[in-house]
Amino acid sequence: MPESIPANSVGLVTPQSARFSEPLQLESGRTLSEYTLAYECYGALNAARSNAVLVCHALSGDHHVAGYRSMDDRKPGWWETMVGPGKPIDTDRFFVVCSNFIGSCKGSTGPASINPATGQPYGLDFPIVTVRDWVQTQARLADLLGIERWAAVVGGSLGGMQVMQWAIDFPERLAHAVVIAAAPKLSAQNIAFNEVARQAIMTDPDFHGGQYYAHDTKPRRGLALARMIGHITYLSEDAMRQKFGRDLRNGEHLAFGFDVEFEVESYLRYQGRSFVERFDANSYLYITKALDYFDPAAPYEGNLAAALAPARAHFLVVSFTSDWRFSPARSREIVTALYANNLPVSYAEIEAHQGHDAFLMPIAQYVDVLGGYMDRVGRECGA
Amino acid sequence: MPESIPANSVGLVTPQSARFSEPLQLESGRTLSEYTLAYECYGALNAARSNAVLVCHALSGDHHVAGYRSMDDRKPGWWETMVGPGKPIDTDRFFVVCSNFIGSCKGSTGPASINPATGQPYGLDFPIVTVRDWVQTQARLADLLGIERWAAVVGGSLGGMQVMQWAIDFPERLAHAVVIAAAPKLSAQNIAFNEVARQAIMTDPDFHGGQYYAHDTKPRRGLALARMIGHITYLSEDAMRQKFGRDLRNGEHLAFGFDVEFEVESYLRYQGRSFVERFDANSYLYITKALDYFDPAAPYEGNLAAALAPARAHFLVVSFTSDWRFSPARSREIVTALYANNLPVSYAEIEAHQGHDAFLMPIAQYVDVLGGYMDRVGRECGA
């Protein structure tokens, strides 16, 4: 709980929710007849409706980007460091929107929601959703909010993939695209890590084919393992060394047993356990699948420049030196494809030891780069 | 099954076994009252007993290094490419020995063996064993075989760690130490991967606290997951891209479901499934723990040069450019510590895209380096 809300926070915020009853045609070929999007907004939309910024969240994120939902909140939103009054995404200037994507478990329709056809939770009957589907739902939310064109669409990791998809699918509806710590598609190694995570969940005897809701249980072990695997890939080897090294949990003495011996083991077990309390295992399956499927260049025989040909936005692409999940080389693939289309691109490779997680952290050079770019976005849109 | 045994193979081999009844004082403080070592030998010990080479195996390896155990064998031993007549470790010149380490499940005493105190399998009552313990058992085997001094002790990965320990604990008993694709200790990231693998096994409901033998089951799901995680770390990202890329299992069309979609998923699931048939889950726990604990510099406040001060051997250290499990930087730490002791060291960093698994492969430069070095070993020992 914050004793008082810091002055540079958006403060107390209220999540909102919108119901869409026009059927959504999904990339898989299936249709979602109706769905809910949970979202949050900060700042004020100006009269010209020109100062709106869409933030796209990543795998385990949600629409609670900044501020506190109550005075009992232990922590603010996941991007508090970047979004707020006077911050890089300045809520004194911008109207900031973030919606939770469908398939998730944070308020938008997903596998834990009730399937109107059966009256039971969807489970694995929920359709596979993709980054393209998410962008469609975000466009409908923009319509609802009366936003014809975003001053910028911004996102890190899986969020950055949504930004790319926005630039391809709705080129006229965004002025700037900010793609952070992303990749144009998953590598075989990325897919491999996702697959082990999914197998951990789906082979857990408490998974019950995804209908664990009816069994008053959930695949706790599997989801915890999935999260532990994920965490290893979010941190650089160097960050792990700095954070834990080979430090022992209980001082100097080796225990020679199978209980927690090293600090890093304790950290991972804690991360696994706590994730189970706040995330739905089926959602983890669906979101990792959306990651696997993202590959806008696939219809163009792998030619990313061809895939990005419709784009009209100005781009900022940001990567982090120690990110081995989506390395700077992956960001440079995006930059090269944008250059090939003669699109205006700024590229920043931030020196950071934190690995993929760096995109969530207030690293000075990163704050400066994003702040400087968003200042320009603000000046252009009259914010 | 080989239609005929290739001429450059050691041919049909017979595993051997030795029972040791003198109690073994373990690094953990516990004692193993008696134990069996399974081993294989190839070539002939010369009259001077000067041409013996010890090969140390890695995590999932065993003492079956080369040749075929029967004409029905589908594959030869795990290092067939390097050990045999006219090969780098030339069985026409050397008497080659490899023993399966205790804690394993391939014939030496381990957690699946009967605990003489209870008449039941040890399970987790088996004591924690370490690299130092293994080297003690190998020294006793050397005594039994009448080998006072090895012409060389050779090993890759966890095998390379045993080689380092040999050089420290028995400096007068080896002339040459060949340390391949190893590290002076695990990093936090290495330990983290091992921990997730162990958690996968130990949280499997079929684990039964390690006494699954009595329940006519085994933690199949957990051990398969552990192996899948391991496999990702054995291959480089580049090797995975070359081997699988984003190829789909079933042609061009995306299935939009949770069955195998990409080739890399199919590969991993197969690797997991097949490993369960040939490896004991408890052994996987014990061996990953031995890896975690290996840190000869720990008693010297992390000073590896001080730890290696007793060493007298000549060293060959080999690393592979794309190995991210034990990267070349880790091998260079070993080289630097050896230099600090004025020990003769050759170091080869082999250009290879295969990742950690490269140490098992017949890469031309690697074959040449090892062959050239072993030729010198042979000339020095009169082989």
With cut-offs at 50, 70 and 90, classify the pLDDT of residue A249. Answer: confident
- Distance set, CA B277 to CA B19, B71, B223 (Å): 26, 21, 10
Name the token pair of A358.
């760096």
Other beta carbons within 10 Å of A149: 14
Q: pLDDT (tens digit, 9 = 90+) per residue, A25-65?
A: 999 999 999 999 999 999 999 999 999 999 999 999 999 99
Q: pLDDT (tens digit, 9 = 90+) per residue, B192-245?
A: 999 999 999 999 999 999 999 999 999 999 999 999 999 999 999 999 999 999
User: Which of A305, A129, A285, A301 has its CA nearest to residue A212?
Assistant: A285
* Contact assignment for B192 to A232 by CB distance below 8 Å: yes
For residue A134, pLDDT over 60 is answered with yes
Q: pLDDT (tens digit, 9 = 90+) per residue, B265-322?
A: 999 999 999 999 999 999 999 999 999 999 999 999 999 999 999 999 999 999 999 9
- Distance set, CA A344 to CA A89, A182, A364 (Å): 21, 18, 24
For residue A2, pLDDT over 80 is answered with no
d(CA A358, CA A350) in angstroms, rounded, equals 9
Side-by-side strand order, sheet with A16-20: A16-20, A35-42, A95-99, A52-56, A150-156, A174-180, A314-320, A345-350
Q: pLDDT (tens digit, 9 = 90+) per residue, A179-222?
A: 999 999 999 999 999 999 999 999 999 999 999 999 999 999 99
Q: pLDDT (tens digit, 9 = 90+) per residue, B80-111?
A: 999 999 999 999 999 999 999 999 999 999 99
Task: Give the closest of B188, B235, B289 to A240, CB-based.
Answer: B188
For residue A75, pLDDT over 70 is answered with yes
Identify the helix (H) or strand (E) that includes residue A169: helix A158-169
pLDDT at B1: 53
Other beta carbons within 10 Å of B218: 20
pLDDT at B307: 98
d(CA B224, CA B281) in angstroms, rounded, equals 9
Contact A107, A38 (CB under 8 A): yes
Q: pLDDT (tens digit, 9 = 90+) per residue, A286-340?
A: 999 999 999 999 999 999 999 999 999 999 999 999 999 999 999 999 999 999 9
Identify the helix (H) or strand (E) that includes residue B156: strand B150-156
B 337-356: CB under 8 A from A: none
- Segment A342-367 shows an average pLDDT of 98
Q: Write down the ipTM of this complex.
A: 0.95
Alpha helix positions (H), chain B: 131-145, 158-169, 188-202, 220-234, 237-243, 263-278, 281-293, 304-307, 328-340, 364-381
Alpha-carbon distance B290 to nearest alpha carbon in chain A (angstroms):
9
For residue A1, pLDDT over 70 is answered with no
* Contact assignment for A185 to B246 by CB distance below 8 Å: yes
User: Which of A379, A380, A369 has its CA nearest to residue A178?
Assistant: A369
Average pLDDT of every residue of chain A: 97
pLDDT at A155: 98
With cut-offs at 50, 70 and 90, classify the pLDDT of residue B4. Answer: confident
For residue B159, pLDDT over 90 is answered with yes
A 189-228: CB under 8 A from B: 189, 191-193, 195-196, 198-200, 202-205, 221, 224-225, 228
Which residue ranges of A make up the annotated binding site? Answer: 227, 357
Ligand-binding annotation for B227, yes or no, is yes
- The one-letter code for the residue type at B311 is A
For residue A252, pLDDT over 80 is answered with no
With cut-offs at 50, 70 and 90, classify the pLDDT of residue B27. Answer: very high
d(CA B153, CA B149) in angstroms, rounded, equals 10
Burial category of A28 from C-beta neighbours within 10 Å (exposed 0-12, middle 13-18, buried 19 and up): middle
- Segment A245-260 shows an average pLDDT of 89
